[in-house]
A and B are shown apart, each in its own frame.
Chain A
Amino acid sequence: MLLLIMFIFLFILIFLSALFAVLAKDLLFCVISLGVMSLATSIVFFILNAPDVAITEASVGAALTTAIYVFGVRRTEREEK
């Protein structure tokens, strides 16, 4: 039961953060919400008994990709036109 509630919460979090990443005007916020999405996905992977994928997703998706996007935003403009 607890697992189910956690699952539903994570799925709602993933969906909302993905939607927010598309809609937000401030690109830095998009990037951060993508990072949140990756972190939630990695927890889902862990619950689904795939710890290998969870570690990779957490380190690559939540940390490195976010950093790369932030560097991209730093070189260009922060607000979407």
Chain B
Amino acid sequence: MRETSFNTGKFFALIIVAVLGIFMISPFFDTGSGKKISPRLENLKDRVSLHYGLKNVNDASKNIEECQGDYYTCREGVKCNNVIYKETADAETGPANLVTSIVLDYRAFDTLGEITVLFISILGVALLMTGFPALPVKNESMIQSAGAKFLVPIIMLVGIYIFLHGHLTPGGGFPGGAVIATGFLLMFMTSGDYNFRSRRFKTVETAAGTIIVALAIAGLIFKDSFFANFLPNGRLGDLFSSFLIVIIYSLIGIKVGSELSVGLRNLYTGEKDD
């Protein structure tokens, strides 16, 4: 066991964290009247996400518009359409992976915001690291660099699989991009002669971002709403289905991968173009 240190500052920090933790757990033991958080999903009927799962959001909103009565009973009276894997065609969202259909269809605008959060953080890192002296990159041992050269293609392949298959299996643009960035990280940490060109990565990244926003604006032009799905959805569960989502997820994967690689490179050696 290594040496540890404990001082009054850490003691008070721990106490504050403990108090905050107790406060955060307290709603779970709430016994008052009214709605409260519960481990069982008792309130699934009122939830918006129920309709995400059943893929009948458009029916639900149409139902609310048609019946002029109470808002909640209108929402409950939506008929349940059967969504069957490999049979349902042209559902309102294409992906078989439920998370993807929420992330890139029902709440696509949030995902655009998250991309922007990552973009601006890496931009902030680049701005911060411009004045810092560059640390030299050491040549590591032969075993390390050879092992990295063996591992990196496999890592890249896994990353590409994760974002290309994101509409069918767990995964998607963000984790796929992060895995790809791990590959580049391994590459430039182990072999000092690896020629990492920041500028090319940045160009790829900003071009991908531009295309994503342009596709979203194309939705505004063709279907009169930002991020609307204007390409066919295909049969649920097929590899070639929900085309727009596959395209956007691939772009996000490319963008996140190159972005994180540039950010890590900046932190490793200091910011410079090429």
Residues on A facing B (Cβ under 8 Å): 20, 22-26, 29, 51-52, 54-56, 59-60, 63-64, 67-68, 71-72, 74-75, 80
Contacts and interface: CB of A to CB of B under 8 A. Distances in A.
B175 A55 contact: yes
Interface stretch (B48-56, B64-72, B141-149, B178-186): B178-186
A55 B177 CA distance: 11
B187 to A, nearest CB: 12
Contacts of A54: 170
Interface stretch (B4-12, B195-203, B216-224): B4-12
A2 to B, nearest CB: 22
B268 A71 contact: yes
B181 A74 contact: no
Main secondary structure of the interface of B (DSSP, over half): helix
Majority SS at the chain A contact face? helix
Interface in B144-197: 162, 170-172, 174-175, 178-179, 181-182, 185
Contacts of B99: 52
B5 A23 contact: yes
B179 A59 contact: yes
5 contacts: A23-B4, A24-B2, A26-B2, A52-B97, A52-B170
Given A55-B170, A56-B175, A56-B178, A64 B260 contact: yes
Among A24, A54, A55, A72, chain B packs the most CB atoms within 10 A around the CB of A55
A55 B14 CA distance: 30
Give 4 nearest A-B pairs by CB, closest first: A51-B170, A59-B178, A23-B4, A55-B175
The interface size bin for chain B is 20 to 34
A67 B3 contact: no
B208 interface: no
Contacts of B3: 24-26
B264 A68 contact: yes
Contact of A22 (B10, B172, B179, B185): B10
A45 B4 CA distance: 30
A63 B178 contact: yes
A22 B182 CA distance: 26
Contacts of B174: 56
B135 interface: yes
Contacts of A55: 162, 170-171, 175
A32 B142 CA distance: 24
A67 B178 contact: no
A20 B5 CA distance: 10
A72 B125 CA distance: 12
B170 A67 contact: no
B175 A23 contact: no
B182 A25 contact: no
